[in-house]
Amino acid sequence: MKNMVFMLIVLLSLVFTGNASAASGPDGFAEVPWGVTRDQVAQSMTSQGFSAVGCRMSEASYSQYECYNGSLVGFPGDFHFKFLKGAFYEGSFAFDSIDLGSAERDAYNRVFSIISSKYGPPTKADKRRNIEGVWSTWNGLQASGSSEIIQLALGYTADTRDCGGSPCASLFQVTYYNQGLYQRLLAGPAGKGL
């Protein structure tokens, strides 16, 4: 169930609308530049002290991901790097817990403050229906020195329902998606990074 919820949120993070005037955006994710190979991601993440872990993805999508365990703003979780034709184009960080959402809410507030101070207010913020939570997106950011459009998504859910005698898992996730690079990779030949 957790895997399905995580995949649903990842898919939702890819469904962005709008293309506001381009503000300066991130040049990568977790100090890993856009477009590098799996080996370069591995080298960067291990040199930062993160350890490789098995991805919790379906078999069909597993080959597109590399995952690392670490922490973001003091919260432990997993970093996910997504590749197309050998090049990194999307990164996310996620964790879940059964603490009724207090850690997820705190992480959301900390990361929201960091992203907003760098890139301004989100272009969209949606409250979750039926459960506590919010999903914020920054659309139309532009990677420096490039015309590629970057989109950021940040959200959490605090599910306080009873799931068979215990609380349901709550989730925090932040995703950086290089839409321009993804489109370019789709159109070009298979390669080994850029």
User: Could you tell me if residue 48 is inside a domain?
Assistant: yes
pLDDT digits (tens, 9 = 90+) for 87-136: 999 999 998 776 767 788 889 999 999 999 999 999 988 876 656 788 89
Q: Mean pLDDT across the chain, nearest whole number?
A: 79
User: Could you tell me if residue 193 is inside a domain?
Assistant: no
Helix, strand counts (H, E) of the chain: 5, 11
pTM of the model: 0.79
Q: Residue 70's domain spans which residues?
A: 2-187
pLDDT digits (tens, 9 = 90+) for 18-51: 333 456 789 999 999 999 999 999 999 999 999 9
Which CA distances in Å does 70 have to 48, 115, 158, 159? 10, 19, 22, 24
The number of domains in the chain is 1
Phi, psi of 8 (to 5 degrees): -60, -45
User: Could you tell me if residue 111 is inside a domain?
Assistant: yes
Contact 84, 183 (CB under 8 A): no
User: Could you tell me if residue 192 is inside a domain?
Assistant: no
